[in-house]
Structure formats: structure tokens, C-alpha cells
Amino acid sequence: MGVKEGSYHVTASSGKVCVYTFKEGFLSAVAHDLLIEATNFCADLHVPAGGMSLARVTAEIQANSLKVICAMKDGLQRHDLLKEKDKADIEEATSKDVLHPDKYPAITFRSINVKEKDGAYHVEGELTLHGVTRPAEIHARTTTGNDLKGKLVLSQKDFGIKPYKALLGTLKVKNEVEITFDLQLK
């Protein structure tokens, strides 16, 4: 079953948007993959009577709303691996060295084309991040009820972002990051 006809507005109180970053480099064994959550976002989905092929999707994340939730290890959330100070330091570095939210306050997505097949959706659109707009593809599927889960994988360099690195480059964040969402459409 697909998304029902209607207009939907989702915020952090009725959905979740997460960013996963992955470590690499010589000292990656002492670093952590991270789970980061957007605490201030909105997404609008309009599905007309003609179905999902005519749907429109827009979304906006406030760049300064990304909060480190925990470290990830072997695909599992590890809340015990980071102290609150570590999280604050990562958030400060992300703001100062990566996203620059004072200059680029919002991350936006606007759909151009939506294709549906058996409850799965391929959404083509434009993503604006760090002042650069590029084509982006989101893959989503319906879950229980009328809810949507999906993901987008992006290359930071495509948006003029230098992946974070420390300790003379021996510790770095991979260029590709994964953005996932779980939206309750009511």
C-alpha cells in the first residue's frame, strides 16, 4: 500500500532525520562512526488525486540543529563511547569547520520527479547544501500505516564541503554520508 492522497507536514515532533558519518584514515581505529540527528526540520508532501507520480516533496533542515546522538560500532548504537564533552566538541567542529550555518543556515530538498513501484519510491530532486544545489536521489518505502522511511547518500565534496579531518589527516570522516528519515504521515 502506498502513501494516501493528501497533504502532509512533518517536523521533528512527528518524524526523525538522521545523518550517519563514517571514519577512515590511519587512526580510524581510535575514532567513531557517528549518529547525528536533525532536531529542527520540516518536510511537506503533497499527493494529489492523480497519485504519487504527481507528488511534490519539499524539506528543510536547519544546519545548526544537528546534534550528536551517539557513536556507532558494527552498525549498533553505542551510547557509552562518547562523553557529553565529546559530543559538544564534535558539534562545534561540525558547525565551525564543515557546515558553516551562519553563512548557510538551511539544507533544502525539492522534488522534481517521483516514481512509485510496489510501495517503494524513487524521488529525484535538487538538494541545496552549503550554498550548492545539486541533483539528488532519495529512495523511500512505506512502512506500517502511511509512514515513510528512506535514505539519501551524498558526497560532501559535491557540495563544496571538505570532509572533516584531524591529526594531520590521519583521522578523517569519509566523503560519503548517509541521511535517513522516518516520517509519520498523519
Q: How far is CA 24 from CA 21, 29, 59, 90, 173, in A?
A: 10, 8, 30, 16, 6
pLDDT, tens digit, 9 for 90 and up, residues 120-168: 899 999 999 999 999 999 999 988 777 889 999 999 999 999 888 776 5
16 touches 156 (CB < 8 A): no
C-alpha cell at 101: 550555518
Question: Residue 133, Cβ neighbours under 10 Å: how many?
Answer: 12
Placement of cell 545548526 in the chain: 64
Helix ranges (H only) for the chain are 84-93
Fold of 6-183: Lipocalin (2.40.128)
For the chain, domain boundaries: 6-183
Condensed to tens digits (0 to 9), the pLDDT of residues 18-71 reads 999 998 876 666 678 999 999 999 999 998 876 666 789 999 999 999 999 999
- What are 149's strand-pairing partners? 141, 182
Chain centroid to CA 92: 18
Q: What is the pTM of this model?
A: 0.90
